[in-house]
Amino acid sequence: MVQTASNGLSHKDLYLFNQGTSYHSYRFMGAHLVRVDGTDGVRFTVWAPQAAKVRVIGGFNEWTGTMHEMERIDETGIFSLFIANIGEGELYKYEIVTPDGSMIRKADPFAFFAERRPGTASIVTSLSGYKWKDSTWNKKKKKLPAYTNPLLIYEVHAGSWKIKGKEDFFTYEELADDLIPYVAEMGYSHIELMPIAEHPFDQSWGYQITGFYAVTSRYGTPKQLMRFVDKCHQSGIGVILDWVPGHFCKDDHGLRLFDGTPIFEGADAKRAEKPLWGTLAFDFGKEEVVSFLISNAMYWMEMYHIDGLRVDAVASMINLHMDKPPEMHTYNYLGGPDNLDALRFIKKLNETVFHYYPDTLMLAEDSSAWPAVTAPTYKGGLGFNFKWNMGWMNDMLRYMELDPSERSNHHHLITFSLLYAFSENYVLPLSHDEVVHGKRSLLNKMPGSYEEKFAQLRLFYGFWMTHPGKKLLFMGSEWGQFDEWKDGDMLDWMLLEYEMHNSMHHYVKTLNRLYVDQASLWERDSEHDSFEWIDVHNAEQSVISFIRRGNSSFTIVLANFSRNDYGEFRIGVPEPGAYRSLMNSNDKQFGGTESLVQKSYNSERVSWHGHEQSITLHLPPLAFLFITLESGNTL
């Protein structure tokens, strides 16, 4: 028999919450519609260990807390109260009397929904009753492990993909009607949504959160988000959420000094403060905070059927010194800068997620050189299954921004990544971070004339798509936006009316299909021998060539990063036979200059690049070629 503490709460649940092992604490913390002694109402439960008193206030008591004081039900500071004859839709907050006698009002940390900003109240909301129709997707997911299958992610900011007017956003359902067919047509396997937990400031893009369990009301209700995810799954598209467990914003109604003291953040301001972002770090040494965060990860998977989490700012979580001036540096008990509590939390997070949801994607957005980020925890790793390859991204964007005449002196920028490409399971991200704050759009990073910008972006995308690692592209980049991402407006869809942008859009769609169709590009993505250089040293001509291998097929990539046109360019090939180009980025249909037809290249017994056979072909300037044997797969 389960022993209860009060209002139907079990001693076991409270104990696990205090021990950092309550992985579904949203089932009893926060506001829940319940029946007590035959009467319907709402049970409110909150953690406020240093509070002198906690009261529930809302429209049902004219926001006067004296009527509804909560009971402290255990010595660790969990308060609870059942209020009869109220139900779904009620607005509420907690009125907390702090240890010094002050009175503050706070939103519920476990609220499932909240007022649309600038309102700050929580809303009593039931998440039950939605009838999911994604069983086919769930079965398919178990049969198609991400390591050995295509992973092609489209990153979306829900408030600017499309909008109806200034601050007149598409709802989750309206997004489903437009976004899902578009993503399916373009060939992406997953949508990654930038943070959709409740946040007060639009320009934080959701990275500074007040309601970690509340779906932001900007775009609709929890049930509408459920329908969005369900429709994605019914269309064969997975959903990844950008998740932010490293820090939270300082707004008065949020987690900061929640009971008048630092309970979610640490007491040491040097550790708690995130000066670069103006936020506060979670105190991963508190077991209740660990329960809060791991439960939050589980919540998105259980209640919303989310397929994966992109865990934001891992480097900032694990390094006590990151983005802090020397006077704010602190050290662990061993004298080092590693946040040992954060490292324990991350390992526990991944162990828990994969225990309950073994097919989940856990992607680390990590700019550090921490080893074994994607190794299992039992082997000393952090336990993620993928890591963003920030090094590749930074090197390649730096290289592509160079004038082609300068690239021969920086050849290492396109080859260095292969020295570590198989040290982790990587995703190659071209994300929102690279097209804001004066960094320019991907297209506008490219040097040269109008035509050369498009040619180089096509070349860059071709190399990106064939380099080892899974793929992520930020919305709008698929047609080559000229302007940076404008988070307050929708994407520049009108650019598709212009020939070059429309051709770029067609190119990316075709490239996506080529990636999905060619098993050599993903079947053995994490294995060293899936990649082989043909010629890595051709810095003088700024040309690289390599082979990608699957289980039973191989393909050849040739990329010319110079403005030179090589009329007869010879490369070694691994087998004799007739080869042909599956894609040439200089094709007129993609905005190039050549009307190309499928052409065969018969290999010759001429030793080249360490191979007994070689072929000769035309290599246009600033062009990417994808080549296969005649017997290989075709688009």
In degrees, to the nearest 5, what angle opens at C-alpha 502 toward C-alphas 635 and 443?
A: 100
Is there a shared CATH topology between the 4-123 domain and the 528-629 domain? yes
3-state helix, strand, coil in the chain (%, to 5): 30, 25, 45
Strand pairing partners for 10? 4
Given the residues 312, 484, 523, 525, select the one marked as catalytic: 312
Domain 4-123 has CATH 1.10.357.10: no
**Helix, coil or strand: residue 247:** strand
Within a 13 Å sphere around the CA of 37, how many CA atoms are in the beta-carbon half? 6
Each residue's pLDDT tens digit, 361-404: 999 999 999 999 999 999 999 999 999 999 999 999 999 999 99
Domain ranges of the chain: 4-123, 528-629
Exposure class string for 5-28: b at 16+ Cβ within 10 A, else e: bbbbbeeebbebbbebebbbbbbb
Helices 287-304 and 11-19: crossing angle in degrees, nearest 10, is 110
- Running along the chain, 635 residues long, what does each successive block of 10 average in pLDDT? 64 93 97 95 98 97 94 92 97 97 97 97 97 96 91 97 91 96 98 98 94 97 98 98 98 97 96 96 98 98 98 98 96 97 98 97 96 97 98 98 98 97 97 94 97 98 98 98 94 97 98 97 94 97 98 96 96 95 95 81 95 96 95 40
Given the residues 242, 365, 395, 434, select the one marked as catalytic: 365
Residue ranges of alpha helices (H) inside 357-427 are 390-400, 412-415
The pLDDT value recorded for residue 633 is 37
* C-alpha distance from residue 80 to each of 1, 32, 442 (Å): 21, 11, 52
Q: Quick check: bond before 118 cis, omega within 30?
A: yes
The pLDDT value recorded for residue 635 is 32
Amino acid identity, residue 518? Q
Closest by CA to 514, choosing from 557, 545, 481, 544, is 557
Q: Cα(114)–Cα(125) distance, rounded to whole angstroms?
A: 9
The pLDDT value recorded for residue 598 is 63
The residue whose two tokens read 């650019």 is 495
Q: Cα(499)–Cα(148) distance, rounded to whole angstroms?
A: 36
Q: Cα(436)–Cα(414) distance, rounded to whole angstroms?
A: 23
Q: Cα(627)–Cα(633) distance, rounded to whole angstroms?
A: 11
In degrees, to the nearest 5, what angle opens at C-alpha 593 toward C-alphas 589 and 596?
A: 60
Six token digits for residue 429: 């991200």
Closest by CA to 458, choosing from 626, 633, 634, 570, is 626
Amino acid identity, residue 485? W
Q: What is the DSSP string of 523-579?
A: TTTT-GGGEEEEES--TTTTEEEEEEE-SS-EEEEEEE-SS--EEEEEEEESS-SEE
Q: Report the run of H or E that residue 310 belongs to, with start and end.
A: strand 308-311
Q: Cα(432)–Cα(434) distance, rounded to whole angstroms?
A: 5
Residue ranges of alpha helices (H) inside 108-200 are 135-143, 172-186
Which residues are CB-neighbours of 397 under 8 A, at least 6 positions away?
434, 445
Q: Cα(185)–Cα(181) distance, rounded to whole angstroms?
A: 6
Q: Cα(53)–Cα(95) distance, rounded to whole angstroms?
A: 8
CATH T-level assignment (fold) for domain 528-629: Immunoglobulin-like (2.60.40)
312 is catalytic: yes
Six token digits for residue 322: 């990151």
Please measure the distance between the N-terminal and C-terminal CA atoms of the chain and give it in whole angstroms: 62
Q: How far is CA 241 from the centre of its chain?
A: 6
Q: For 253, phi and psi rounded to 5 degrees?
A: -85, 0
Four-CA torsion 511, 512, 517, 523, nearest 10 degrees = 110
Closest by CA to 156, choosing from 460, 431, 488, is 431
Burial of 128 (0-12, 13-18, 19+ CB in 10 A): exposed
**Widest pairwise Cα distance in the chain:** 92
Residue ranges of alpha helices (H) inside 379-498 are 390-400, 412-415, 442-445, 450-466
The CA R_g of the chain, rounded to the nearest whole Å, is: 27
242 is catalytic: no
